[in-house]
Copies of this chain bind each other. A is one copy, B any other.
Amino acid sequence: MANMLNEHRLVRALLRKPVDRTPIWIMRQAGRYLPEYRVIRSKVKDFLKLCKTPELACQITLQPLERFPLDAAIIFSDILTIPDAFGLELAFLEGEGPYFQRPICTLEDVEKLPTIDPEIELRYVMDAIRMTKRALKDRVPLIGFAGSPWTIATYMVEGKISKNFTKIKKLMVSEPMILHRLLTHLSTTIVSYLKAQVMAGAEVLMIFDTWGGVLSCADYLDFSLSYMQEIVANLNFELERENAAFAVPSSGGGQVIKKVPIILFTKNVGQNLEALSETGCDAVGIDWTLPLDKARSLVGHKVALQGNLDPAVLYADPDFIQRSVQLVLRQFGKGSGHVFNLGHGIYPDVEPEKVAIMIEAVQSFSTRYTYE
């Protein structure tokens, strides 16, 4: 079964193998723009409770799949589950986003952070993945994810969404060693968290570095990219070891090699795209500010590219959406290694009908690019 899924066009495209057409999934595809999601949300007001209830997380994960012929499911969760599991007490204030009652301020705060076992403190995520995996019946691959160490750290230090990232940048320039300790602890945790997601059934992994783009190039390399690179290396090592331990000589003499592609995404990656593509990851997510032809010329054959339609295009009429989809496909050009997506999460006030138009356009127009 695992072998069969290796052949799904999403995994194939992420590994830059030939595909029949360009696969598509949508960042935040399970979410507020779907009326069926809003029905659940109207009953369970607490966003975090949705994440923490595997039955609901599973149900929400599957909602967009029931409506659209998407090429992936992505587990419904949040990048802040890890600091919540650390005991920082995550809350979501109405209209204000995430909020930590106990942000990280001192070296002592960092040293007190516990080592967590994903199958204990974050078991709800693993249960949701297991449940979803069963329900999916291998229709499409399931994507697991985490925030990048830098991005998670911004919330842990700032306490909430920040405009200038004052607190964490103060820490960065005045007490860099405290920040490095925090980022190291996060990296270790993220490796075990993502590995546990794979063990539970995730077939593709993505790391969201939402705030790496607020750093200078030098700081990005030091405080964000280097940790993602370490995570990718350690994850690949851990997963291969797991694989080897699992492999038993079968009658055919072969062994199950289940390569888990890893996608890295830094919003506003700017000048750092080349460095990001050299981390050992399989694919890089591109936001809509960088055309894919330019991106491809920068990364060469090192990685697949995921993206990058401007989410605002889904406000337009069908004709405009179709032309915009065609432009993204044309900008990537011929050959394998493209996963269609928006350049960032879908906006909550998009009409689902527009999503259908986008998906249909990708399906019908992309075959001319994937056949060489």
Could you tell me which A residues sit within 8 Å of B by CB distance? 164-166, 169-170, 172-174, 213-220, 268, 270-271, 288-291, 294, 310-313, 315-317, 320, 327, 343, 347, 349
The reply to whether B347 and A312 contact each other, CB–CB distance below 8 Å, is no
A220-B291 Cα distance, complex, nearest whole Å? 12
Q: Chain A interface mostly helix, strand, loop or mixed? A: helix
A29 to chain B, nearest CB (A): 17
Choice from B271, B316, B317, B320 contacting A291 with Cβ under 8 Å: B271
Distance A214 CA – B343 CA, assembled complex (angstroms): 11
Question: In whole Å, how far is A312's beta carbon from the nearest beta carbon of chain B?
Answer: 4
Asked whether A174 lies within 8 Å of B317 as measured between CB atoms, the reply is yes
User: Are B217 and A290 in contact, CB atoms less than 8 angstroms apart?
Assistant: yes
In the complex, residue of chain B having the shortest beta-carbon distance to the beta carbon of A272: B289
Cβ-defined partner of A320 (8 Å) among B173, B218, B289: B173
Smallest beta-carbon distance A137→chain B, Å:
35
Q: Is the Cβ of B315 less than 8 Å from the Cβ of A169?
A: yes
Q: Is the CB of B313 within 8 A of A173?
A: yes
- A290/B271 in contact, CB under 8 A: yes
Pick from B173, B213, B217, B312: contact of A173, CB under 8 Å: B312
Q: Which residues of B contact A214 (CB under 8 A)?
A: 289
Contact A289–B173 (Cβ < 8 Å): no
Which of B165, B288, B291, B312 touches A166 (beta carbons < 8 Å)?
B312
Q: Taking the nearest CB of chain B, how far is it from the CB of A354, in angstroms?
A: 11
* A289-B315 contact, Cβ under 8 Å, with A173-B320, A216-B310, A347-B164: no
Q: Across the interface, name the chain B residue whose C-beta is closest to A316.
A: B173
Task: Say yes or no: A216 contacts B270, CB within 8 Å.
Answer: no
Q: Which residues of B contact A270 (CB under 8 A)?
A: 268, 270, 289-290
Q: Choose one: B165, B271, B294, B327; the contact of A312 (CB below 8 Å).
A: B165
A349 and B310 contact, CB distance less than 8 A: no
Chain B neighbourhood of A294, CB < 8 A: 217, 271
Is B216's CB under 8 angstroms from A315's CB?
A: no
Top 5 closest pairs, chain A to chain B, by CB:
A169-B312, A173-B316, A170-B315, A216-B288, A216-B310
Collect the chain B residues with CB atoms within 8 Å of residue A271's CB.
289-291, 294
Q: CA A289 – CA B327 in complex, angstroms?
A: 28
**Known contacts A294-B271, A313-B173; is A166 also within 8 Å of B289 by CB?**
no
Which of B215, B291, B349 makes the CB contact (< 8 A) with A289?
B215
Residues on the B chain within 8 Å of A291, using CB: 216-218, 271
Complex alpha-carbon distance, A217 and B294, angstroms: 11
Of the A-B pairs whose beta carbons lie under 8 Å apart in the complex, a sample of 24, sorted by A's number, is A164-B311, A164-B312, A165-B312, A166-B347, A166-B349, A170-B312, A170-B315, A173-B312, A173-B315, A174-B317, A174-B320, A213-B289, A214-B289, A216-B310, A217-B289, A217-B290, A217-B294, A218-B327, A219-B310, A268-B270, A270-B270, A271-B290, A271-B291, A271-B294
